[in-house]
């Protein structure tokens, strides 16, 4: 069983890749559209998947950030997320975001840029340790 | 013209929306072209109605004429009624007689009149060998109530009849009897199928729903169209699960077909089953009697909603056969018991 590990591959130049995982394709599509509308110096790529693991046959760039989109009204959506999480290394986990789509898209793009290493002074490793410590900034502050 | 008839016609015409008025009056074919030309349909509705009543009086409209207008109104507004479906059967060894519409109508009317004395029965034949029957019910001592009629649509070349649901249920056995005997059948049974959409009920009962209609979309390549969702042409968005999407689309198409689904508003499941649980020692699991519960799915268009569940990612494909069997089994009422 292949497991996604962070910092596994080499980054591509100025490109930040995010993977959105969730059962409701229309929601993923809308979130992707909102993110791509954001003003962003990096080139964004959004991958949409219903669940993990991803098909292995594809040549894929390094994924900088994975977002699981859960519909809290749907048991099916939650179960799907739980099963998909088994395929992700635990050290990947950063936190959760709730809220309106527009602000969420903005936050995700900023997080993505950090994770892709496009923000000087803040690296993905920083982010992991920052968020783990209780004195660090919360996701909302980013 | 009898006062009650005048009132009845007036109330019926008042129900008709102004934009449908000429169409319905023409279908009624009671007032002549000349008479209709004298009416100014652009007036206020009350004035139009008054003028029309006056014309009906001139022509001496009878109760039967009024009943016919009511039938036509209902034919134009079928969705205002909820329709049940009945299936008749012949006895063993009975021959299939040639259907005689005149004989059917006489026989049907006589049976009801003999039983109730006060009843208004009217007929209107339509295409596909169908006859619309309107029954206004009275009793031995009271005149028929024209404002709570029952409608039956009988397709004479089939054993099926559709009946409008009404609150006067005590007359249903008599109605069933009249229908059965007059159409030379032996037995009548109510099917577990009900909807406001008469056309959809017909399509289900006569198994005519599975025809692919040519739509303006048929020009687009099957691949693109069948994926259903708006595939964003933005090359920055990559769909990882195309294979899974295609599997879901294929299963959905196999189950529901390419054609528009018949329209139903609900499906109801009555469960009488013992409680099943993985946990040991649950109080409910020890219970000997089955639990009773009712599950109802409602939607403006239930079957289309079910069809879109898997492609929308709200449910996994294939769906439960209890949901997908509805048109095939010709039911939307189910009783589920332990085997």
Yes or no, beta carbons of B229 and A76 under 8 Å apart: no
Task: Report the 10 Å Cβ neighbour count for A58.
Answer: 10
- Farthest CA pair distance, chain A: 42
3-class SS at B279? coil
B interface with A, Cβ–Cβ < 8 A, is: 229-230, 232, 234, 236-241, 243-245, 311-316
Yes or no, beta carbons of A24 and B241 under 8 Å apart: no
Q: Is residue A55 a contact partner of residue B241, using CB atoms and an 8 Å limit?
A: yes
Could you tell me which of B259, B249, B246 has the C-alpha nearest to residue B213?
B259
Best residue of B235, B241, B249, B315 to probe chain A, by most A CBs closer than 10 Å: B241
Q: How far is CA B263 from CA B227, B294, B302, in A?
A: 23, 22, 7
Q: What residues in B contact A43, CB-CB < 8 Å?
A: 236
Which pLDDT value is given to residue A131?
Answer: 61
Q: What is the dihedral of CA B117, B122, B125, B131, to 10 degrees?
A: -50
Structure tokens at B140: 């031995």
Q: What residues in A contact B313, CB-CB < 8 Å?
A: 22-26, 50, 77
A interface with B, Cβ–Cβ < 8 A, is: 19, 22-26, 29, 32-33, 36, 43-51, 54-55, 58, 74, 76-77
To the nearest 10 degrees (0 to 180), the angle between helices B172-182 and B101-116 is 150
Residue length, chain B?
Answer: 339
- CATH 3.10.20.720, domain B241-335, yes or no: yes
- Domain B81-204: homologous superfamily in CATH: Sirohaem synthase, central domain (3.30.160.110)
Which pLDDT value is given to residue A60?
Answer: 79
Classify residue B32 by its DSSP letter: -
Which pLDDT value is given to residue A100?
Answer: 74
Q: Is residue B76 a contact partner of residue B28, using CB atoms and an 8 Å limit?
A: no
Which pLDDT value is given to residue B227?
Answer: 45
Q: How far is CA B324 from CA A134, B207, B336, in A?
A: 52, 15, 15
HSE of B50, CA atoms in CB hemisphere, 13 A: 5
Classify residue B304 by its DSSP letter: H
Which pLDDT value is given to residue A130?
Answer: 63
A136–chain B nearest CA distance, Å: 33
Could you tell me which of A114, A103, A19 has the C-alpha nearest to residue A68?
A19
> Could you state, in chain order, the average pLDDT of each consecutive group of 10 residues for chain A (142 residues)?
58 82 90 88 89 79 87 89 87 73 82 81 70 52 53
Classify residue B331 by its DSSP letter: -
Q: How far is CA A42 from CA A45, A83, A106, A116, A127, in A?
A: 10, 32, 13, 9, 18
The one-digit pLDDT tens for each residue of chain B (339 residues) are 788 999 999 999 999 999 999 999 999 999 998 898 999 888 898 999 999 999 999 999 999 999 999 999 999 999 999 999 999 998 887 777 788 999 999 999 999 999 988 999 999 999 888 999 999 999 888 999 999 999 999 999 999 999 999 877 889 999 999 999 999 999 999 999 999 999 999 999 999 887 654 444 444 444 444 444 455 567 888 888 888 889 999 999 999 998 999 999 999 999 998 887 777 667 777 778 888 899 999 999 999 999 999 999 888 889 999 999 999 999 999 999 887
Q: What residues in B contact A19, CB-CB < 8 Å?
A: 240
A96–chain B nearest CA distance, Å: 22
Identify whether B318 is preceded by a cis peptide bond (ω within 30 of 0). Answer: yes
What is the helix (H) or strand (E) element at residue B223, kind and residue range? helix B222-226
Best residue of A16, A25, A69 to probe chain B, by most B CBs closer than 10 Å: A25
Nearest-by-Cβ selection for A55 from B230, B243, B313 = B243
pTM of the model: 0.81
Sign of CA dihedral B12, B18, B22, B23: negative
At A26-36, the pLDDT tens digits run: 889 999 999 99
Which pLDDT value is given to residue A134?
Answer: 45
Yes or no, beta carbons of A48 and B245 under 8 Å apart: no
Task: Report the 10 Å Cβ neighbour count for B147.
Answer: 11
Yes or no, beta carbons of B245 and A58 under 8 Å apart: no
At A75-99, the pLDDT tens digits run: 889 999 999 988 887 777 777 777 7
How far apart (Å, rounded) are the C-alpha atoms in residues B322 and B122? 40
How far apart (Å, rounded) are the C-alpha atoms in residues B159 and B88? 5
Sign of CA dihedral B179, B183, B184, B185: negative
What is the helix (H) or strand (E) element at residue B162, kind and residue range? strand B160-164
Q: What are phi and psi of B19, to 5 degrees?
A: -75, -10
Yes or no, beta carbons of B240 and A25 under 8 Å apart: no
How far apart (Å, rounded) are the C-alpha atoms in residues B172 and B174? 5
- Farthest CA pair distance, chain B: 83
Q: Is residue A7 a contact partner of residue A109, using CB atoms and an 8 Å limit?
A: no
Residues whose CB falls within 8 Å of the CB of residue B216, separated by 6 or more in sequence, listed in order: none
3-class SS at B289? coil
Nearest-by-Cβ selection for B229 from A25, A43, A76 = A25
């Amino acid at each position: 069983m292949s497991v996604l590990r962070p910092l596994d591959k080499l980054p591509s130049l100025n490109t930040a890749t995010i993977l959105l995982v969730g059962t409701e394709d229309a929601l993923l599509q809308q979130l992707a559209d909102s993110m791509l509308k954001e003003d962003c110096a990096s080139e964004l790529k959004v991958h949409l998947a219903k669940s993990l693991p991803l098909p292995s046959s594809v040549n894929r760039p390094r994924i900088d950030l994975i977002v699981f989109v859960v519909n809290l009204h749907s048991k099916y959506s939650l179960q799907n997320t739980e099963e998909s999480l088994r395929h992700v290394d635990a050290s990947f986990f950063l936190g959760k975001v709730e809220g309106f789509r527009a602000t969420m898209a903005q936050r995700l793009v900023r997080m993505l840029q950090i994770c892709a290493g496009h923000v000087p002074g803040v690296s993905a490793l920083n982010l992991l340790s920052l968020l783990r410590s209780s004195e660090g900034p919360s996701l909302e502050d980013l | 013209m009898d006062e009650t008839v005048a009132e009845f016609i007036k109330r019926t015409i008042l129900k008709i929306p102004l934009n449908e008025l000429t169409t319905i009056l023409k279908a009624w074919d009671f007032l002549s072209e000349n008479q209709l030309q004298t009416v100014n349909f652009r007036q206020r509705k009350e004035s139009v109605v008054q003028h029309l009543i006056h014309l009906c009086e001139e022509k001496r409209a009878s109760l039967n004429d009024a009943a016919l207008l009511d039938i036509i109104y209902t034919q134009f507004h079928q969705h205002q009624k909820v329709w049940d479906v009945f299936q008749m059967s012949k006895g063993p060894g009975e021959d299939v007689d040639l259907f005689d519409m005149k004989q059917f109508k006489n026989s049907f009317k006589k049976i009801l009149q003999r039983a109730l004395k006060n009843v208004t029965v009217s007929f209107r034949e339509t295409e596909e060998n169908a006859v619309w029957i309107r029954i206004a019910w009275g009793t031995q001592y009271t005149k028929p109530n024209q404002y709570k009629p029952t409608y039956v649509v009988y397709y004479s070349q089939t054993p099926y009849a559709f009946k409008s649901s009404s609150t006067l249920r005590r007359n249903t056995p008599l109605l069933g009897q009249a229908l059965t005997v007059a159409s030379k059948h032996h037995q009548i049974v109510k099917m577990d199928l009900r909807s406001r959409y008469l056309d959809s009920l017909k399509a289900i009962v006569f198994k005519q729903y599975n025809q692919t209609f040519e739509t303006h979309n048929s020009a687009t390549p099957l691949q693109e169209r069948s994926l259903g969702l708006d595939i964003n042409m933005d090359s920055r968005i990559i769909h990882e699960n195309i294979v899974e999407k295609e599997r879901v689309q294929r299963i959905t198409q196999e189950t529901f077909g390419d054609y528009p689904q018949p329209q139903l508003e609900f499906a109801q499941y009555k469960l009488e089953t013992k409680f099943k649980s993985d946990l040991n020692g649950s109080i409910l699991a020890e219970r000997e009697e089955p639990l009773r519960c009712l599950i109802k799915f409602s939607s403006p268009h239930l079957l289309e909603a079910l069809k879109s569940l898997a492609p929308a990612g709200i449910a996994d494909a294939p769906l439960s056969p209890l949901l997908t069997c509805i048109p095939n089994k010709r039911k939307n009422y189910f009783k589920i018991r332990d085997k």
